[in-house]
């Protein structure tokens, strides 16, 4: 059982979870919702822990899973709305129309980052998570591989493939313009 | 060579991600979380009630199955009796 109280855990990891959620949702309100879900689950399960050393990895894992759950649910809602809106290219819609409202992004970088994130959003879940944890959150490869339940080599491979796919997506979008 | 160039281009694009700042969550977020935890506690049905309801349902279900199977056996028997009817007709 952790030696910290719930509010201490929140003070220590709240910012971390909120920022991870932001990288997935790119939207302040959505990130808040995800963060709430994460900490509700943390509160339910926190007594299962033997020591505080595992706590950070465990909370990161919940944050990643809850963020991915949120995105899946949102995608399902969007898919249904496309049934009534014929003739719209879903990919183009993802690239152009974005609820990009990332509070960590400076105004002068907003357009470039909105585009980059729209490309990252097209990666599969593993690749997206690897890029977010390692390249945006700056987590070490060892820690990221632990969070994702992958070996170091497997994570390297995932990041390598993610970069190649990202490059292809960027090149395709430039061709379309 | 071209793959190296492409890799470098990709790295340059990803460099942009370094400009993203860490954001402080809203001050009232902890309060919202605590409220959500409280709401969840009120909505949860105690596990023993769920177990009791499941046990009652299973009992009722198997009782019905037993009664139906007995009724079928009784019907078969009654049909047999009808076919083996020794009523004498007036000739």
Give dist(CA B64, CA B67) in Å, integer: 5
Q: Does A19 reside within a domain?
A: yes
Q: Does A161 reside within a domain?
A: no
Q: What is the DSSP letter of A103?
A: T
Range of the domain at B55: 26-78
Q: Extract the residue ranges of chain B whose pLDDT is less than 50.
A: 1
At a CB cut-off of 8 Å and minimum separation 6, what does A16 contact? Answer: A56, A59, A60, A63
* Residues 26-85 (B) with a CB less than 8 A from some CB of A: 26, 29-30, 32-33, 36-37, 40
Number of domains in chain A: 1
Instruction: Determine the pLDDT at residue A83.
Output: 59
Whether the pLDDT of residue A118 is over 60: the answer is yes
Lowest average pLDDT, out of A30-34, A36-40, A102-106, goes to A102-106
User: Which residues of A are less than 8 Å from B16 in CB distance?
Assistant: 109, 112-113, 116
CATH at A68: 1.10.1740.10
Place of tokens 């509700």: A40
Whether the pLDDT of residue A71 is over 60: the answer is yes
Give dist(CA A102, CA A113) in Å, integer: 9
Provide the number of CB pairs (under 8 Å) joining chain A to chain B. Answer: 75
Number of domains in chain B: 1
- Which of B20, B21, B25 comes nearest A18 by C-beta? B25
Q: Does A38 reside within a domain?
A: yes
Q: What is the mean pLDDT of residues A63-89?
A: 76
Q: Does B86 reside within a domain?
A: no
As given in the structure block, the two tokens for residue A50 are 């033997």
At a CB cut-off of 8 Å and minimum separation 6, what does A42 contact? Answer: A6, A9, A59, A62
B25: helix, coil or strand?
coil
Instruction: Determine the pLDDT at residue A106.
Output: 86
Place of tokens 């390249």: A135
Q: Which residue of B has its CA nearest to A26?
A: B20
- Of the candidates A83, A84, A77, A131, the one whose C-alpha atom is nearest the C-alpha of residue A99 is A77
Range of the domain at A52: 1-89
Q: What is the mean pLDDT of residues A80-87?
A: 58
Q: Does B55 reside within a domain?
A: yes
- Which of B20, B25, B40 comes nearest A105 by C-beta? B20
- pTM for the model stands at 0.75
Query: Please, what is the average pLDDT of chain A?
Result: 86
A102: helix, coil or strand?
coil
Q: What is the mean pLDDT of residues A27-52?
A: 88
Whether the pLDDT of residue A89 is over 60: the answer is no
At A47, the pLDDT band (50, 70, 90 cuts) reads confident
Instruction: Determine the pLDDT at residue A80.
Output: 67
CA angle B15, B16, B21 (to 5 degrees): 110
Q: Which residue of B has its CA nearest to A34?
A: B33
- Is A36 within 8 Å of chain B by CB? yes
Instruction: Determine the pLDDT at residue A97.
Output: 45
Lowest average pLDDT, out of A46-50, A146-150, B38-42, B78-82, goes to B78-82
Instruction: Determine the pLDDT at residue A6.
Output: 92
């Amino acid at each position: 059982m952790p030696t910290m109280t719930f509010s201490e855990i929140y003070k220590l990891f709240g910012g971390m979870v909120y920022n991870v959620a932001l990288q997935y949702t790119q939207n302040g309100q959505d990130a808040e919702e995800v963060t709430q879900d994460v900490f509700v689950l943390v509160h339910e399960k926190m007594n299962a822990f033997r020591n505080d050393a595992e706590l950070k990895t465990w909370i990161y894992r919940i944050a990643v899973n809850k963020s991915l759950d949120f995105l899946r649910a949102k995608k399902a809602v969007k898919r249904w709305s496309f049934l009534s809106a014929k003739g719209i290219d879903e990919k183009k819609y993802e690239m152009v129309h974005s609820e990009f409202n990332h509070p960590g992004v400076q105004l002068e970088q907003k357009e470039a980052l909105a585009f980059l994130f729209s490309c990252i959003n097209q990666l599969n879940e593993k690749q997206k998570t690897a890029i977010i944890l390692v390249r945006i959150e700056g987590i070490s490869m060892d820690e990221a591989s632990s969070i994702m339940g992958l070996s170091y080599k497997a994570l390297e491979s995932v990041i390598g493939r993610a970069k190649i796919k990202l490059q292809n997506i960027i090149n395709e979008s430039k061709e379309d313009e | 060579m071209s793959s190296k160039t492409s890799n470098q281009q990709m790295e340059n694009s990803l460099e942009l991600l370094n400009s993203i700042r860490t954001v402080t969550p809203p001050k009232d977020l902890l309060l919202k979380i605590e409220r959500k935890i409280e709401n969840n506690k009120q909505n949860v049905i105690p596990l023993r009630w769920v177990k009791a309801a499941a046990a009652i349902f299973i009992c009722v279900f198997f009782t019905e199955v037993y009664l139906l199977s007995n009724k079928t056996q009784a019907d078969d028997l009654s049909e047999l009796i009808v076919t083996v009817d020794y009523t004498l007709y007036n000739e």
